[in-house]
């Protein structure tokens, strides 16, 4: 049927004829057949409409080409592997913290088939979901108890609904942040059933501002870590400890939303200090919330630690069942928390293994890759700046190295070609040059990256 010009409506192929085309076999089989049939039907219908309007000639070749493109676009919407050469290690759009194959293989043995997710083996009776994970979480954080929900926004919402439903929650105006995906702290607070009480100004909030707003309707004091933006100049933000003292004075719980959250000192690896979960517990926060898939280095989850009484209240909330996690999340977190407890986090957790790779090692990898390509003109290995991402201090960059294409290569066109590869390569553009930052590129993916660059250059 190729290149045949359609002269009348009956010349259009049927859906089944198209689905049987050998040239489309691979594209059609890449998606579920009913979906492929729907795409074919839609394209044929659109071209029939074009034919009726006599807006131009229609050929079978055009129809086949458009169907192929749409099937490919549909396939690209499925979750698949990409090479992260953006220089953002915890990239929200690329799955946040990467998991190692070793971890996934270990977890696979516990989640396939049946498991004791809610079964107590010693007694043979119904068990408590996630009890080992919660025990590890409490031990690692230094809190009396802990629990897990499906993300940090859910952790904050279930905490507010449990402790301050229909009551006033005091928060500094400088902490009314917007988190990823357009979600805003005031909106989450409102949906929780609590009432927002803003105190202070955007740049200055004092302890007196909090205390002057406390009354009988107050449910708790909320502190939100400003992890995804920075204020400079004439600013003042109250540390957690004074807020805890104020809360105890008025018998009010203090909730600390850390956002990304971290368990280890970050200054040695990253050059800046990110507040740890343990410090929040030591400072006396009644509840500390943080994410599992950012600087913890695990899967999407919202982790909550605090007193046994408070955690029990949260778990008894009828809404808790709507945000609880499954055996896969618990299994991953058990392994991850165990690595922290054993002191093996830097070697076993992929996020920290990536961040530990030195600038000199990245230079060595980049130089070797370009050498293997024959040192092509317009391709260089240069110092760059990478970022942790995941809402952790956006201006605190870390040294990195990138493979840089000169402006003559036309960065936008290169980016499009790299995204069209079987395993897409995602880079960034700086000063009209394409940069493939090596910080988050796994060493095992360098051979594929080299082949991809060679294919594009030739």
| Ordered alpha helix ranges (H), 376-445 | 411-419
**Above pLDDT 90, what percent of the chain?**
69
Q: pTM of this prediction?
A: 0.89
Name the average pLDDT for the chain. 91
Question: Between β-strands 433-437 and 398-405, what pairing exists: parallel, antiparallel or unpaired?
Answer: antiparallel
What's the confidence (pLDDT) of residue 4? 79
In which band, very low, low, confident or very high, does the pLDDT at 2 lie, cut at 50, 70 and 90?
very low
What's the confidence (pLDDT) of residue 270? 84
In which band, very low, low, confident or very high, does the pLDDT at 362 lie, cut at 50, 70 and 90?
very high
Bridge partners, residue 223, by sequence: 256
Bridge partners, residue 164, by sequence: none
Q: Is 271:127 a contact under the CB 8 Å cutoff?
A: no
Question: Between β-strands 145-149 and 168-172, what pairing exists: parallel, antiparallel or unpaired?
Answer: unpaired
Phi, psi dihedrals of residue 229, rounded to the nearest 5°: -155, 165
Whole-angstrom distance, CA of residue 155 vs CA of residue 322:
12
Helix (H, G, I), strand (E, B) or coil at 429: strand
Q: Which residue, 145, 389, 439, 86, is CA-closest to 260?
A: 389
Phi, psi dihedrals of residue 20, rounded to the nearest 5°: -90, -5
Sorted by where each starts, the structural domains of the chain and their CATH numbers stand as 9-76 (no CATH), 83-95+352-457 (3.90.1150.180), 101-348 (3.40.640.10)
Across 339-366, average pLDDT: 95
Across 317-337, average pLDDT: 95
Whole-angstrom distance, CA of residue 62 vs CA of residue 41:
15
Q: What is the pLDDT of residues 100-124, one digit of tens each?
A: 888 888 899 889 989 899 999 999 9
Question: Between β-strands 168-172 and 195-199, what pairing exists: parallel, antiparallel or unpaired?
Answer: parallel
Hey, how many other C-beta atoms are within 10 angstroms of the C-beta on 260?
26
Q: Is 179:224 a contact under the CB 8 Å cutoff?
A: no
Q: Is the pLDDT of residue 229 over 60?
A: no
Across 321-330, average pLDDT: 95
Going by the DSSP 8-state scheme, the letter that residue 160 receives in this structure is H
Look at 368 and 49; give whichever has higher pLDDT.
368
| Torsional class of 300: left (φ above 0), alpha (ψ -120 to 50), beta (otherwise) | beta
DSSP 116-136: -TTEETTTTEE--TTHHHHHH
Q: What is the pLDDT of residues 370-404, one digit of tens each?
A: 999 999 999 999 999 999 987 665 557 899 999 99
Q: Is the pLDDT of residue 219 over 70?
A: yes
Q: What is the pLDDT of residues 65-78, one digit of tens each?
A: 999 999 988 988 88
In which band, very low, low, confident or very high, does the pLDDT at 1 lie, cut at 50, 70 and 90?
very low
């Amino acid at each position: 049927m190729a290149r045949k010009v359609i002269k009348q409506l009956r010349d259009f192929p049927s859906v089944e004829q198209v689905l049987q085309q050998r040239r489309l076999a691979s594209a059609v089989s890449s998606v579920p057949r009913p979906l492929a049939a729907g795409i074919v039907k839609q394209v044929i219908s659109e071209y029939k409409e074009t034919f009726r309007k006599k807006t131009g000639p229609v050929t079978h070749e055009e129809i086949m080409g458009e169907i192929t493109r749409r099937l490919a676009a549909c396939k690209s919407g499925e979750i698949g592997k990409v090479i992260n050469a953006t220089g953002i290690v915890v990239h929200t759009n690329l799955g946040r913290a990467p998991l190692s194959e070793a971890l996934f293989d270990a977890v696979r043995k516990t989640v396939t088939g049946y498991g004791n997710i809610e079964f107590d083996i010693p007694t043979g009776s119904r068990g408590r979901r996630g009890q080992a994970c919660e025990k590890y979480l409490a031990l690692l954080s230094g809190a009396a108890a802990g629990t897990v929900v499906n993300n940090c926004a859910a952790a904050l919402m279930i905490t507010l609904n449990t402790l301050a439903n229909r009551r006033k929650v005091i928060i500094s105006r400088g902490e009314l942040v917007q988190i990823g995906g357009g979600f805003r702290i005031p909106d989450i607070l409102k949906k929780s059933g609590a009432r927002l009480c803003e105190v202070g100004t955007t740049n200055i909030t004092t302890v007196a501002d909090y205390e002057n707003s406390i009354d009988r309707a107050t449910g708790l004091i909320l502190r939100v870590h400003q992890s995804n933006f920075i204020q400079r100049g004439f600013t003042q933000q109250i540390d957690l400890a004074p807020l805890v003292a104020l809360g105890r004075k008025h018998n009010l719980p203090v909730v600390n939303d850390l956002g990304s959250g971290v368990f280890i000192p970050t200054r040695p690896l990253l050059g800046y200090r990110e507040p740890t979960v343990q410090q929040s517990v030591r400072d006396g926060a009644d509840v500390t919330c943080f994410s599992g898939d950012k600087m913890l280095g695990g899967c999407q989850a919202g982790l909550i630690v605090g007193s046994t009484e408070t955690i029990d209240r949260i778990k008894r909330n009828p809404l808790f069942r709507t945000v609880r996690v499954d055996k896969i999340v618990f299994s991953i977190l058990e392994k991850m928390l165990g690595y922290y407890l054993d002191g093996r986090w830097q070697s076993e957790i992929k996020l920290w293994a990536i961040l530990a790779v030195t600038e000199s090692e990245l230079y060595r990898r980049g130089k070797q890759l370009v050498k293997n390509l024959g040192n092509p003109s317009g391709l260089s290995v240069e110092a760059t700046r990478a970022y942790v991402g995941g809402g952790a201090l956006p201006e605190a960059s870390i040294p990195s190295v990138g493979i840089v294409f000169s402006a003559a290569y036309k960065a936008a066109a290169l980016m499009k070609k790299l995204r069209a590869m079987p395993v897409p390569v995602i880079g960034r553009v700086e000063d009209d040059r394409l940069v493939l930052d090596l910080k988050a590129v796994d060493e095992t993916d360098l051979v594929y990256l080299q082949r991809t660059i060679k294919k594009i250059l030739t």
